[in-house]
Amino acid sequence: MFWRVIGSIGAITFIGGGMDIASTGGCAAVDFGGHYRRASYTCTFGQYPGDLSAGAASFLMIGGGIAFIALLWIPLIIRNRRGY
């Protein structure tokens, strides 16, 4: 249960990052970076080679966060509904 909560917090911050990208005015592209323990993104105002468009990056971050929450919690919900 501890890891589900930790994973949920990570997924919620990922969704928040996607919403941050979506709400930034004038953001044309997103450059992802970081290290093995943290990820970062930078909103750029011009499209450079290798950058994702802001819409695609926002969709991937929000969709990825929702998918991760689903992978964490749906098996537990199904088990409880079936009475295991």
pTM for this predicted structure: 0.82
The boundaries of the domain holding residue 42 are 2-82
Cα angle 65, 68, 73 (rounded to 5 degrees) comes to 125
Please state, in angstroms and rounded to a whole number, the distance separating the CA atoms of residues 70 and 49.
Answer: 33
- Residues 18 and 65: beta-carbon distance below 8 Å: yes
Q: Give the tens place of pLDDT for each residue, 22-78.
A: 998 888 898 888 888 888 888 888 777 778 888 999 999 999 999 999 999 998 889
What is the predicted pLDDT for the residue at 60?
Answer: 92
Number of domains comprising the chain: 1
Please state, in angstroms and rounded to a whole number, the distance separating the CA atoms of residues 54 and 23.
Answer: 10
Please state, in angstroms and rounded to a whole number, the distance separating the CA atoms of residues 22 and 25.
Answer: 8
